[in-house]
C-alpha cells in the first residue's frame, strides 16, 4: 500500500491510523519516495510546543524549485506548468511549459542576484495575478531569498507596514494592474509606501498595463530589459530543511499583522502530499484554484503543491464578474478544467446571478470541487453541488489556515462521504482535539469546543517574523501542549468536524481575515472620532460584513453623518484596503463596557446581527443604559 495515494475510505483509515501510531515513520516514507534531496535528513522530527520549537527533516538539504521544476524537465518539459488566463477574455491564454518556466525562473534568479539579493534576504512581491508573480516567488526560493508576497489589494500603508516589519530590501511590482474594466495604479501605491520605508534600495517594475509611471532614478528599474539580458541557467541554492522559505502576513485580533514564517522541507512535503490527495490529482488534469497568490491558498495550492506534483495550474488575472458573471464557467469550458478550488463568498455571489450564466457552458470536464476560507453555508454548498458539480463531483470543504501551511481537515474525494457544511475528517498526520474553556479535552462525539491540534505536522509555521514570543502567546499558550487555531468546531456522531467560526476578534469577510483592532485604530485617526468598536454581522454574500459603532467627540444633529461615514471608510481604505470597509456605521453615545473597561463585543455582535432576544446578563456592565439606546438606533 502506498501512503502517497489514498484510494478508498478504508485505506484512508488505515493510513490515518499509521500516521498517528508512528508519525515519523509515516512522514519519512512520504518524504523519501516523492522528492529530490541533496542530502538526507538526520532526524525526521524534533519538537517542543512549550518553547515552541518544531523541526522537520533536520539535516537535510534541498531546493524546493528543483522539486517543483527541474525534476519534471526530462519527463514533462513540454507540459504546461502554468496556464495563464488574462483579465481580458479576448487576449490569448498563455501556456508556460515546465521548460519555459525553468528558463523564466532562472532568468529572474539571475536578475535578483545581480540586484544584490542573497540567501536569507527578504523580497517583497506586490504584483497582480500575472505569471511574473509566480516566477518571482519561485526565483526567490531558487536563490534562497525569503519571499513576502503582499496581496495587491492592500493599501500603501498596509504595504509599508509589511515591508518594514520584515526589512525587505527589494520590491517587485508592476506599473499597474487590471481588475475587470478598471486599472489600478500599483506603482503609485508602492511609491507612496516607500516614502515610509528606508530599507528598500531597489524596485523592479513589470510593465503590465503600459501606463506612464514615474521611475525614481537609481531605485526603480524596468524588469523586462534586465530579464532579457540574463542567463537562462541558474544553479539552485542548496537550502537547509528549516531555512525559511517565505513570510506571509495574516491579521491578528490585536496589534500589527503577523508575519508567519514557513520553512522549506516540511512545507514542501505537506503541500505536495495534500494537493495530490485532496484534489485527486491525475497526470492529465487542468487544475484551477481561483485564489490570489497573495494569500496562503495561492502559495500552497496554485504554486508549490501543484508544481511539486508536475501539474498544470491555472492562474487567472481577472474577477468572476468580468466581462459578466459567466467568466468562471467560460474558463472551465475553455481550458477543460478538472478541479475547481474557490471560496464560499464567490459561490454565493455567483449563485445570486441568473442560472443561465452557468448553464451556457459545458462544465463536464469538472471532477472535483473545492472550497476554502470560511464556513460554507448549506444553501451555497447545494448550489455548488447541483449546478456546478451536477451532483457528480465531490466537494472538498477544506479547513486550514495561513499558519498551518496546508489543508488540515477535508474530505478526500471519492473516499470520504461528504456532508454539507462539514470539513469532515482530519488529513493523515493531523490530530485535532476539541477543548473546553477550562483547558480540558472534550472526548467523544456530538460535542463542540475550541479546535486545537495535538501533534506537529510538517508545514506548521515555525514562528512569527521578529516576534517569537507572540507566536508562543497566540498559538501555544491558551491550551497546554497544543496548537490553538482560534476556531470553534463541533464533532458530529460519526466524528466529522464542522468549523463553526472564529472564537477570537478576527472577522472573516469574503474569505479575508480582518482583525478588529487595526480597523478601529484606523477609524480613531479621524479627527471627529472619540472611540469605536467593530463587529461582524451575517451577510448574504460576504459571509460576514463589518458593523462599526462610533462615538464622536462632539455629538449632535449638526454633523453630516453620511459624509462622516464616507470619510471613515476612506481612512480605512487608506490604512488597510477596500476589503476592510464597513457596511454599516452607527453613531452612538457610549459603548457597553465591563467594569474593567473592556468593550463587550458579544453584545454589540448580537445587536448588529439583530439577534437580541437573548442578550445575556447586562447587569454587570459599567453602563447598562447604553445597550437600549444602541438597540433603538440599530441600522
Ligand atoms: C477559516 C485560509 C470554515 C477559519 C486557508 C480559519 C474556514 C481561517 C475554512 C484561516 C473552512 C478556512 N471552513 N472555516 N473550510 N477554511 N476557514 O489564514 O476561521 O486566510 O481559521 O487561511 O479561515 O484563514 P486564512
> 82-101 burial by CB neighbour count: b if 16+ within 10 A, else e?
bbbbbbebeeebeebbbbbb
- Surface-to-core class of residue 356, CB atoms within 10 Å of its CB (0-12 exposed, 13-18 middle, 19+ buried): exposed
Q: Whose CA is nearest to atom 7 of ligand 1?
A: 374
492 close to 448: Cβ distance less than 8 angstroms: no
Q: What is the pLDDT of residues 383-399, one digit of tens each?
A: 999 999 999 999 999 99
Regarding whether 303 and 216 lie in a shared domain, the answer is yes
For the chain, what percentages of helix, strand and coil (3-state, to nearest 5) are there? 30, 25, 45
Regarding whether 541 and 448 lie in a shared domain, the answer is no
CA 375 – ligand 1 centroid, Å: 8
398 lines ligand 1 (CB under 6 A): yes
Regarding whether 249 and 146 lie in a shared domain, the answer is yes
Q: Whose CA is nearest to atom 25 of ligand 1?
A: 401
In this prediction, residue 599 carries a pLDDT of: 86
- 3-class DSSP state of 451: strand
- 3-class DSSP state of 287: strand
Residue 495 lies in a domain: no
Regarding whether 284 and 408 lie in a shared domain, the answer is yes
Regarding whether 555 and 417 lie in a shared domain, the answer is no
CA 213 – ligand 1 centroid, Å: 37
Residue 610 lies in a domain: yes
Q: What is the pLDDT of residues 267-290, one digit of tens each?
A: 999 999 999 999 999 999 999 999
Regarding whether 560 and 427 lie in a shared domain, the answer is no
Residue 397 lies in a domain: yes
Residue 321 lies in a domain: yes
CA 402 – ligand 1 centroid, Å: 8
CA 618 – ligand 1 centroid, Å: 32
Residue 432 lies in a domain: yes
Regarding whether 163 and 54 lie in a shared domain, the answer is yes
Q: Whose CA is nearest to atom 12 of ligand 1?
A: 373
Regarding whether 341 and 280 lie in a shared domain, the answer is yes
298 lines ligand 1 (CB under 6 A): no
CA 373 – ligand 1 centroid, Å: 4
423 lines ligand 1 (CB under 6 A): yes
CA 485 – ligand 1 centroid, Å: 10
How are beta strands 61-62 and 483-491 bridged, if at all?
Answer: unpaired
Q: Whose CA is nearest to atom 1 of ligand 1?
A: 374
Residue 435 lies in a domain: yes
Residue 122 lies in a domain: yes
410, 431, 453 — which closes off a domain? 453
380 lines ligand 1 (CB under 6 A): no
Taking the C-alpha atoms of residue 425 and residue 495, their distance in angstroms, rounded to an integer, is 7
Taking the C-alpha atoms of residue 242 and residue 620, their distance in angstroms, rounded to an integer, is 50
Regarding whether 436 and 574 lie in a shared domain, the answer is no
Regarding whether 27 and 114 lie in a shared domain, the answer is yes
277 lines ligand 1 (CB under 6 A): no
Taking the C-alpha atoms of residue 296 and residue 304, their distance in angstroms, rounded to an integer, is 11
402 lines ligand 1 (CB under 6 A): yes
Give Cα separations from 175 to 82, 89, 128, 209, 295 (angstroms). Answer: 22, 21, 10, 7, 21
Residue 170 lies in a domain: yes
CATH number of the domain enclosing 241: 3.40.50.12780
How are beta strands 239-240 and 244-250 bridged, if at all?
Answer: unpaired
**HEC assignment per residue over 112-171:** HHHCCCCCCCEEEECCCCCHHHHHHHHHHHHHCCEEEECCCCCCHHHHHHHHHHCCCCEE
424, 453, 482 — which closes off a domain? 453
420 close to 378: Cβ distance less than 8 angstroms: yes
Taking the C-alpha atoms of residue 347 and residue 420, their distance in angstroms, rounded to an integer, is 14
- Domain carrying residue 601: 506-632
Taking the C-alpha atoms of residue 513 and residue 355, their distance in angstroms, rounded to an integer, is 30
Q: Whose CA is nearest to atom 6 of ligand 1?
A: 401
Residue 250 Cα: closest atom of ligand 1: 18
208 close to 179: Cβ distance less than 8 angstroms: no
Q: Whose CA is nearest to atom 24 of ligand 1?
A: 401
Consecutive 10-residue averages of pLDDT for the chain (635 residues): 81 96 97 97 98 98 98 98 98 98 98 98 98 98 98 95 97 97 97 97 98 97 98 98 98 85 98 98 98 98 98 98 97 98 96 96 98 94 98 98 98 97 98 96 96 98 98 97 97 96 91 91 92 94 96 77 95 94 95 83 92 80 89 93
CATH number of the domain enclosing 536: 3.30.300.30
Regarding whether 545 and 425 lie in a shared domain, the answer is no
150 lines ligand 1 (CB under 6 A): no
Number of structural domains found in the chain: 2
- 3-class DSSP state of 260: strand
Q: Whose CA is nearest to atom 8 of ligand 1?
A: 401
434, 453, 472 — which closes off a domain? 453
Regarding whether 568 and 424 lie in a shared domain, the answer is no
300 lines ligand 1 (CB under 6 A): no
In this prediction, residue 334 carries a pLDDT of: 98
Taking the C-alpha atoms of residue 126 and residue 57, their distance in angstroms, rounded to an integer, is 31
Amino acid at each position: 500500500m502506498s501512503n502517497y495515494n489514498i484510494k478508498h475510505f478504508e485505506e484512508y483509515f488505515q493510513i490515518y491510523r499509521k500516521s498517528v501510531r508512528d508519525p515519523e515513520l509515516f512522514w519519512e516514507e512520504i518524504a523519501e519516495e516523492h522528492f529530490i534531496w541533496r542530502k538526507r535528513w538526520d532526524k525526521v522530527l524534533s519538537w517542543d510546543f512549550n518553547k515552541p520549537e518544531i523541526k522537520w527533516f533536520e539535516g537535510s538539504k534541498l531546493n524546493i524549485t528543483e522539486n517543483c521544476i527541474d525534476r519534471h524537465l526530462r519527463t514533462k518539459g513540454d507540459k504546461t506548468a502554468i496556464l495563464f488566463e488574462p483579465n481580458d477574455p479576448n487576449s490569448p491564454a498563455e501556456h508556460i511549459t515546465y521548460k519555459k518556466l525553468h528558463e523564466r525562473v532562472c532568468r529572474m534568479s539571475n536578475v535578483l542576484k545581480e540586484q544584490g539579493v542573497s540567501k536569507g534576504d527578504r523580497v517583497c512581491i506586490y504584483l497582480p495575478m500575472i505569471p511574473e508573480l509566480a516566477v518571482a516567488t519561485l526565483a526567490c526560493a531558487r536563490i534562497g531569498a525569503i519571499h513576502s508576497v503582499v496581496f495587491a489589494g492592500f493599501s500603501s500603508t498596509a504595504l509599508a507596514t509589511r515591508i518594514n516589519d520584515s526589512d525587505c530590501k527589494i520590491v517587485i511590482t508592476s506599473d499597474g494592474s487590471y481588475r475587470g474594466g478598471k486599472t489600478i495604479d500599483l506603482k503609485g501605491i508602492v511609491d507612496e509606501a516607500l516614502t515610509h520605508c528606508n530599507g528598500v534600495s531597489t524596485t523592479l517594475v513589470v510593465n503590465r498595463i503600459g501606463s506612464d509611471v514615474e521611475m525614481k532614478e537609481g531605485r526603480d528599474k524596468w524588469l523586462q530589459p534586465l530579464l532579457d539580458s540574463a542567463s537562462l541557467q541558474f544553479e539552485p541554492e542548496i537550502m537547509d530543511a528549516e531555512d525559511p522559505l517565505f513570510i506571509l502576513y495574516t491579521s491578528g485580533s490585536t496589534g500589527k499583522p503577523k508575519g508567519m514564517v514557513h520553512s522549506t522541507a516540511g512545507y514542501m512535503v505537506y503541500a505536495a502530499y495534500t494537493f495530490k490527495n485532496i484534489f485527486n490529482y491525475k497526470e492529465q488534469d487542468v487544475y484551477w484554484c481561483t485564489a490570489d497568490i497573495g494569500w496562503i491558498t495561492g502559495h500552497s495550492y496554485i504554486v508549490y503543491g501543484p508544481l511539486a506534483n508536475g501539474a498544470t495550474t491555472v492562474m487567472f488575472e481577472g474577477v468572476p464578474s468580468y466581462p459578466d458573471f459567466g467568466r468562471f464557467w467560460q474558463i472551465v469550458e475553455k481550458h477543460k478544467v478538472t478541479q475547481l478550488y474557490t471560496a464560499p463568498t464567490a459561490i454565493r455571489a455567483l449563485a445570486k446571478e441568473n442560472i443561465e450564466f452557468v448553464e451556457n457552458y459545458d462544465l463536464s470536464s469538472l471532477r472535483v470541487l473545492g472550497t476554502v476560507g470560511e464556513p460554507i453555508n448549506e444553501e451555497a454548498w447545494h448550489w455548488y453541488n447541483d449546478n456546478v458539480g451536477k451532483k457528480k463531483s465531490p466537494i472538498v470543504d477544506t479547513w486550514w489556515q495561513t499558519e498551518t501551511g496546508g489543508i488540515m481537515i477535508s474530505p478526500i474525494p471519492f473516499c470520504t462521504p461528504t456532508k454539507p457544511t462539514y470539513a469532515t475528517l482530519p488529513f493523515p498526520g493531523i490530530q485535532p482535539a476539541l477543548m473546553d474553556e477550562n483547558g480540558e479535552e472534550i472526548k467523544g462525539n456530538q460535542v463542540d469546543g475550541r479546535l486545537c491540534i495535538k501533534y506537529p505536522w510538517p508545514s506548521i509555521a515555525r514562528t512569527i517574523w521578529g516576534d517569537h514570543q507572540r507566536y508562543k502567546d497566540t498559538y501555544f499558550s491558551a491550551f497546554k501542549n497544543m496548537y490553538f487555531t482560534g476556531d470553534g468546531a463541533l464533532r458530529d456522531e460519526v466524528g466529522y468536524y464542522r468549523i463553526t467560526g472564529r472564537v477570537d476578534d478576527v472577522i472573516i469577510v469574503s474569505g479575508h481575515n480582518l482583525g478588529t483592532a487595526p480597523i478601529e485604530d484606523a477609524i480613531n485617526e479621524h479627527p471627529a472620532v472619540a472611540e469605536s468598536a467593530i463587529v461582524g454581522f451575517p451577510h448574504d454574500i460576504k459571509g460576514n460584513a463589518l458593523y462599526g459603532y462610533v462615538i464622536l467627540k462632539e455629538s449632535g444633529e449638526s454633523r453630516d453623518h453620511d459624509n462622516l461615514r464616507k470619510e471613515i471608510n476612506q481612512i480605512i481604505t487608506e490604512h488597510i484596503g477596500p476589503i476592510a470597509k464597513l457596511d454599516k456605521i452607527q453613531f452612538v453615545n457610549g459603548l457597553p463596557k465591563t467594569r474593567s473597561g473592556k468593550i463587550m463585543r458579544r453584545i454589540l455582535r448580537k445587536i448588529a446581527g439583530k439577534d437580541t432576544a437573548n442578550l445575556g446578563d447586562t447587569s454587570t456592565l459599567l453602563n447598562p443604559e447604553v445597550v437600549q439606546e444602541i438597540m433603538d438606533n440599530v441600522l
